[in-house]
Amino acid sequence: MSRLGSFRIQLPAASQRRIHTALRQRGVVVTASGAGLVMLASIAIAVAAPGSGHAAAMSPAGHAAAQAQADVPVTPLQIMSVTPADSAHNVNGALPVKVSFNQPLATNSPMPTLSPKIAGSWAVNGDDAVFTPATGYTEDTKVTIKIPGGAGGMQAEGVGQTTIAGAGLLASSAKDTFTTGSYSTMRLQQLLAQLGYLPLRWTPTSTSPVPGDASGQLSAAYDPPPGTFTWQPGYPSILRTFWSKGKGNLIDDGAVRSFEWQHGLTMDGDAGPLVWKALLTAIARGQDNQHGYTYALASEASPETLTIWHNGQMVLRTLANTGIPAAPTAIGTFPVYLRYHYQVMKGINPDGTPYADPVWYVSYFNSGMAVHYFPRYSYGFPQSLGCVELPWDSAAKAWPYLTYGSLVTVQAA
């Protein structure tokens, strides 16, 4: 038996009827079991030129008809993959969503839906349905992808031409989920440095999203671009000990508080959703830090002093008073969280008597401890009840620098 004698092709019923009719008109008897061979014979009859031993070239119309027949789907539409994968975590919320199928999609096919809804658009790209977000999903968001199936569901190209039941149609609906990740601390530091809230500069070592590229900036919040931090000169070495690249630290805390204050947010030092939203807006609009970077160091070494650096320059060094042994000033580093130009401080003296003292130029940095003016006969040794006291002129000069978020270190002798 020849190769053709053993070849079988399964055709739709309508196609078989057309072949039977054509061959009957030529006096050929056809059996059902010989459908594959007859089809090949019919093709040979159709293309053989009368009186010639050579095949005639197929006409353009014939070629188009054959191509149209080849594009008719013969199998159901099936989902091959979904990106991001089902149940994926730590997903970059700014990246596209893609659903891939086993055959090309109809351009007018219904598209999947996303919940929660965000701005963006679906498009058909061959076998894929791709959603491109206008910006993207924010951090820690659970997203559901619903892929419609059934009679009104997704369909392949050429479904209207097929006679095979279910061919080119997605049999039933499907649902996948993924969860976006958290924004990067590294990117938080990069943005704060770019806006002037850190005593460091950041320089990208490769392509970085432009300020107005909302989608690119959101993507970088999940996956920060590489770059280099460099310290601004002029600050004391102790300040560097508070910094940790890519990890939360005291310098970040103070910088976030300063940013929150300047943008009307609650000052808690926590880079939550509102801070990130305002931060990305500030980058897009070029809203730099309007107060510069300040660091203050109170030393209990004799004589006691307070030194302030602003934008890398020492702007003040003055005698100061810290707490007496019965009410010492806490050792450590703290951000300024409350300020008054004038206040009557009230409390209890170590002997149990109450006090109510008028003070000026007040910057609280730790509980009830503040840098402020207090009248003393002399300065430079422990006299206060926990605060850092300054002479009038020094306090007046210090107060404009000690804005919200400024770090104050109290260093033991």
Domains along the sequence of the chain with CATH: 4-57 (no CATH), 79-180 (2.60.40.3710), 185-285 (no CATH), 294-411 (2.40.440.10)
Does 106 score more than 60 pLDDT? Answer: yes
Q: Which two tokens stand for residue 406?
A: 């400024």
Does 37 score more than 80 pLDDT? Answer: no
pLDDT band (50, 70, 90) for residue 29: very low
pLDDT band (50, 70, 90) for residue 206: confident
Q: What pLDDT was estimated at residue 207?
A: 85
**Beta sheet of 407-411, edge-to-edge order:** 313-319, 305-310, 294-299, 407-411, 332-335
pLDDT band (50, 70, 90) for residue 61: low
Is 322 within 8 Å of 329 (Cβ atoms)? Answer: yes
pLDDT band (50, 70, 90) for residue 160: confident
Q: What pLDDT was estimated at residue 208?
A: 87
Does 57 score more than 80 pLDDT? Answer: no
Does 28 score more than 50 pLDDT? Answer: no
Specify the DSSP class assigned to residue 49: P
* Amino acid at residue number 340: Y
Does 64 score more than 90 pLDDT? Answer: no
pLDDT band (50, 70, 90) for residue 404: very high
Model's pTM, two decimal places? 0.81
Q: What pLDDT was estimated at residue 62?
A: 54
Query: Three-state DSSP class for 259?
Result: helix
Distances (CA, A) of 164 to 12, 36, 123: 7, 18, 27
Give the integer Cα–Cα distance in Å for 167 and 77: 7
* Helix runs in 223-271, H state only: 237-240, 250-262
Return the higher-pLDDT residue of 55 and 78.
Answer: 78
Does 283 score more than 50 pLDDT? Answer: yes
Q: What angle do CA 389, 395, 397 make, to 5 degrees?
A: 155
Closest CA to 167 of 357, 389, 12: 12
Give the integer Cα–Cα distance in Å for 172 and 154: 9
Q: What pLDDT was estimated at residue 71?
A: 74
**Beta sheet of 174-180, edge-to-edge order:** 88-91, 174-180, 142-147, 113-115
Q: What pLDDT was estimated at residue 14?
A: 43
Average pLDDT estimate for 377-406: 98
Does 18 score more than 70 pLDDT? Answer: no
Average pLDDT, the chain: 87
Query: Three-state DSSP class for 180?
Result: strand
Does 184 score more than 60 pLDDT? Answer: yes
Is 342 within 8 Å of 359 (Cβ atoms)? Answer: yes
pLDDT tens digit sequence for 208-229: 899 889 999 999 999 999 999 9
Give the integer Cα–Cα distance in Å for 90 and 399: 44
Give the integer Cα–Cα distance in Å for 317 and 394: 8
Does 305 score more than 80 pLDDT? Answer: yes
Q: Which two tokens stand for residue 34?
A: 């010989």
* Amino acid at residue number 166: G
Give the integer Cα–Cα distance in Å for 330 and 93: 43
Average pLDDT estimate for 2-11: 36
Does 3 score more than 70 pLDDT? Answer: no
Does 250 score more than 90 pLDDT? Answer: yes
Does 103 score more than 80 pLDDT? Answer: yes
* Amino acid at residue number 143: V
Distances (CA, A) of 360 to 140, 391, 399: 45, 10, 9
pLDDT band (50, 70, 90) for residue 172: very high
Does 50 score more than 60 pLDDT? Answer: no
Question: What would the DSSP string read from start to end of 151-163?
Answer: TTS-BBTTGGG--
Give the integer Cα–Cα distance in Å for 134 and 143: 16
